[in-house]
Amino acid sequence: AAALLAACAVCVLQPNFAHLGLLLAVVAASTAGAGRWRAAAGALGLGVVATLIASSYPYVRWRVASFLAASLTADTRGLAGVVREASPWGAGLGRGSWKALLSSAPSDYVFAVGLEELGALGALGAALLLASSVLSLGLRRAPGPERARAWGTAAFLTVPALLHAAVCLRLIPVTGVHFPLLSEDPSAALAVGLAIGLSAEAPSAVRRLTLDRANELGFEFRGVRASVRWSRAFSLELHRERR
């Protein structure tokens, strides 16, 4: 509890409320996975308090006001073009045009690039593939440390992805949260890799596995590895175009 409060205080002092929300979401998911529902409710309560505190900061109010006023910038024009012209199948990898208007396409708006080039189906698949793989593993664990790791990892992957996608679809103001494994952010990619590794390790569970159960887990993690390879290929293509 003390470590959580210290981390929350650091996020407030920076200030960085988007990542504070991510931290509390991971804590809520992890404690719920461990069967500690009161602690999970407490983390969500801290999220409500953090939202009230954030609303008192001038830069937060400015972002919200700019979003509600639909301020016309290069980024908003680019995102509006992506949303307006997005198709189910996309224009093709490397063939997008609206990304030229986006100020930080490889990091802050990579989902918009994926939506234009890969289409709605491809972008949605990128958002759900890793999360569904890790969450399906977590649901098969008994409440305790192993499920807590799996649920926390699922939250660590899905919450940033959903926030990032919502920004790119112009549903919420800019948050500065990157899309896991796709955005150009080496430190975030390292953190996601460590989280997946912690979720996959589960030594006590591995010792109890039968051969059939091991095969099931192998199938699930092949899906995770495939999604990581796809994400890396997409990122390399995007970075190659920038150069």
* Alpha helices (runs of H) in the chain, residue ranges in sequence order: 2-13, 17-33, 37-54, 58-69, 74-85, 110-139, 145-168, 186-201, 203-207, 211-242
How far is CA 40 from its chain centroid? 20
pLDDT at position 230: 54
Mean pLDDT of the residues in the chain: 75
Give 202 or 172, the one with higher predicted confidence.
172
**Cβ atoms within 10 Å, residue 38:** 8
Average pLDDT over residues 103-127: 81
218, pLDDT greater than 80: no
Instruction: Delimit the domains of the chain by residue range.
Output: 1-70, 72-242
Task: Check pLDDT > 80 for residue 5.
Answer: no
Mean pLDDT in residue range 3-7: 72
- pLDDT by residue (tens digit) across 123-182? 778 777 766 766 666 666 666 777 888 888 888 888 888 888 888 888 888 787 888 887
pLDDT for res 148? 84
* Predicted confidence (pLDDT) per residue in 87-106, tens digit: 777 778 878 777 777 887 78
Once rounded to an integer, what is the mean pLDDT over residues 100-119? 82
- The more confident residue out of 121 and 216 is 121
For residue 5, give both structure tokens. Answer: 């409060």
Centre a 10 Å sphere on the Cβ of residue 236 and count the other Cβ atoms it contains.
10
